[in-house]
Structure 1
Amino acid sequence: MVQALTVLHVLVALAIIGLVMIQRGRGADAGAGFGGSSNTFFGARGAATFLSKSTAIAAVVFFSTSLTLAYLSDHRDNKPADIMDTPAAPKTSSDLPPVPQPAKAPSDLPQSADVPSGAPAPAK
């Protein structure tokens, strides 16, 4: 939306520049640049009303696109985030050193519940 309005805004600005450049200056005749008088080239009423109305319409479109672009850019959510509002990222397991695994007891040794693990097994 903003890109389309920006393209329209630039095109209208270029149209205004072109319309102002071909309008009649003081003491000059706009139709003389095209090889004839302004009455015959632009119609019976001349170039003043045609170019004036075209410039006025282009100016209204230019101002409306300017205001719309200003409104849209003001209401965009592009404000920087505050560092105090974001929680700290938790540490992942790759950040921690590896944890050594306890040695497992061999499965072929007899395990009895009455013998403590540190005491020697009774002879049979």
Structure 2
Amino acid sequence: MIETVIVVLHLLVAIGVVGLVLMQQGKGAEAGASFGSGASATVFGSQGSGTFLSRVTAVLATVFFLTSLGLAYYASHKADAAVEAGLPAPALQVEQQAPALIDEDVPVLEQDVAPLDVPDTVGEEVPPAVE
């Protein structure tokens, strides 16, 4: 239950961080604002939205980091529980290939074998191709 809440919060915070980063202006945009492009008439005041969006982004990044640690904690405890239950450790699981079948391993019934109808053409000339 709590793991599901952490996963949902993690996803929402990740989307929020991406959105906030895309809304912020680059450092080059501040140079134009200093020459009187009307920065004092913005919603966030004369300083602009830079500090507000930067702080919200930092808070969301911190929450994202903490939810990442929480998910790692739950994943490690699930792995430990699986090992205690007798299952192999997830990091140590290796796919095993099926053994290759050898002709002697497969029984063949005599009535199932059809004779091959292959003409003996060794040493004979090959007829020319018809065009």
Normalized against structure 1, the TM-score is what? Answer: 0.54
In structure 2, relative to structure 1, the CA distance for the partners of 1:82 and 1:49 (3 Å cut) is: closer
Question: What's the CA shift string for 1:34-57, capped at 9, x where partnerless?
Answer: xx8554122232111101100000
d(CA) in 1 for partners of 2:4, 2:67: 12
What is residue 86 of structure 2 aligned with on the other side?
81
* Between 13-22 and 74-83, the greater mean CA deviation after superposition: 74-83
Which of the two has higher C-alpha Rg?
1
Cα distance in structure 1, aligned partners of 2:12 and 2:39: 26
Contact between 1:12 and 1:61, CA under 8 Å: does it hold in 2?
yes
* Contact 1:38-1:47 within 8 A present in 2 as well: no
Q: Find the partner of 2:54 among 52, 55, 71.
A: 52
Aligned positions, number? 78
Q: Does 1:13 align with 2:14?
A: yes
Q: TM-score normalised to the size of structure 2?
A: 0.52
Higher helix share: 2
Q: CA deviation at 1:81?
A: 2.3
Distance 1:82 1:55, change over 3 A: closer
Gaps of 5+ in 1: 84-124
Distance 1:14 1:38 in 2: 28
2:66 to 64, 67, 77: 64
Q: CA RMSD in A?
A: 2.5
